[in-house]
Amino acid sequence: MNQSSKTVIEISRVSKRFGNVVAVDDNSLVIHEGEFFALLGPSGCGKTTLLRMLAGLEVPTEGSILIDGEDMQGVPPNHRPINMVFQSYAVFPHMTVFENVGYGLKVTGVPVPALRDAVMTALDQVQLGDYQDRMPDQLSGGQKQRVALARALVKKPKVLLLDEPLSALDAKLREAMQLELVKLQNTVGITFVIVTHDQDEALSMADRIAVINEGRIEQIAEPRAIYEFPANRFVADFIGKMNVFDAKATSEGDRIAIEASDVGSFTVSHREDMRPDQINAVAIRPEKTRLTSQPPDNSLFSAEARIVNIAYHGKETAIFVEIGQHTELACAVQNTSRSQQLPEIGDICWVSWKADDVLLLE
């Protein structure tokens, strides 16, 4: 990564209201130079509005946005050191690939020889060097996206904004494009800010992620921290799969004792940012549980369970078990071998996990 600690975007206390609807609610955020930053959230959470405010296509109702140290208030989109790849790509249908990529230079009066060089370099960067004379309707979705990328990169922006860039591509192409975008970002060294609702995309590509819900940033952290140490119930629930149980917690020396109805009791190490009386629930990810036919050793917490449902996914199998009368739990079993035996519905087994893999929630 080309990250430095230099700030390139500073969003402070920005809100955006459309009539009575609050799309973005009092958010602050700092993005560093060279960073690959993801705004992640469910649809309608305000992430695109936030991106559009960076581009100057929406005006914040409150708060300020600094790009490269300059206040962007009143600066129109065409005067911002930022370019955007639109979700629909917005490749101009009446221009060739070359004219599309050259458009941003032509309108700012770049002389033709320099424009030609820059356009060809950008097209080579996205592997479309041979497509310069094609019309957009002769291109596939993936190729149009590369045109949109080249068209933005040729402007050498401080920050490149990408609005759901991969959502329209099929699964295989999407995976390839994820890797390519990261590679491209490393090559050009431009700060990328990507909006996505796809957590896989955010986790695999971004250096840091802001998880947004209902207009508010819930957590800003590196992908691993977002997944392993979600800050609250929304993030825990939104990212990956999570089993959540109601629980009571009490202090027990330097550890916290958890009492979860049906499941049982165990102790976990102390979390400094939370008092025991704030804890109302605990959570464990399916892949952090283990299923055995015999009770495991005492280093793990374990409970007896009955298998109620099995869903086969190829690389893994989701096994749903019932502990006690009311508590259902999803466990993920990796299908590491072809000859692996799977349990059957109705079997009694033991579900276990490391106490410290449990997440404490308010």
Partner 1 sequence: MLGVPPGIWLTVFFIIPLSLIWLFSFGDKQGLVDIELTWTMANYARAMDPLYLQIFLKSFWFAGITTLVCLLVAFPIAIAITFSPARIRPILLLLVILPFWTNLLIRTYALIAVLRTKGYVNFGLEYLWDGLNATLMFFGMDPSGLIGERFTPAPLLYNNFAVVFGLVYVHLPFMVLPLYASLDRMDRSYLEASLDLGATQFRTFLSITVPLAMPGIISGVIITFIPALGSFLTPDLLGGTDSQMIANVIERQFKSANDWPFGSALSFILMYITFFVLAARALFSRQGSAMEAS
**Least distance in Å: CB of 306 to partner 1?**
53
For position 227 contacting partner 1 by CB under 8 A, the verdict is no
Q: Of 29-58, which residues contact partner 1 (CB under 8 A)?
A: 55-57
Given candidates 73, 88, 269, 340, which one binds partner 1 under the rule CB under 8 A?
A: 88
For position 76 contacting partner 1 by CB under 8 A, the verdict is yes
Nearest to 154 by CA among 164, 146, 144: 146
Nearest to 40 by CA among 48, 32, 52: 48
For position 86 contacting partner 1 by CB under 8 A, the verdict is yes
Distance CA 23, CA 349 (A): 47
Contact 68, 8 (CB under 8 A): yes
Give 127's DSSP letter. T
Query: Which residues 6+ apart lie within 8 Å of 88 measured at CB?
Result: 168
For position 135 contacting partner 1 by CB under 8 A, the verdict is yes
For position 224 contacting partner 1 by CB under 8 A, the verdict is no
Given candidates 3, 87, 204, 261, which one binds partner 1 under the rule CB under 8 A?
A: 87
- Between residues 137 and 254, which has the closer beta carbon with respect to partner 1? 137
Contact 157, 190 (CB under 8 A): yes
- Between residues 59 and 348, which has the closer beta carbon with respect to partner 1? 59
For position 104 contacting partner 1 by CB under 8 A, the verdict is yes
For position 92 contacting partner 1 by CB under 8 A, the verdict is yes
Strands 264-269 and 255-260: antiparallel
For position 83 contacting partner 1 by CB under 8 A, the verdict is yes
For position 125 contacting partner 1 by CB under 8 A, the verdict is no
Exposed, middle or buried: residue 17 (CB in 10 Å: 0-12, 13-18, 19+)?
middle
Binding region for partner 1 (CB under 8 A) = 55-57, 76-79, 82-84, 86-88, 90, 92-94, 103-104, 107-108, 135, 137, 148, 151-152, 155
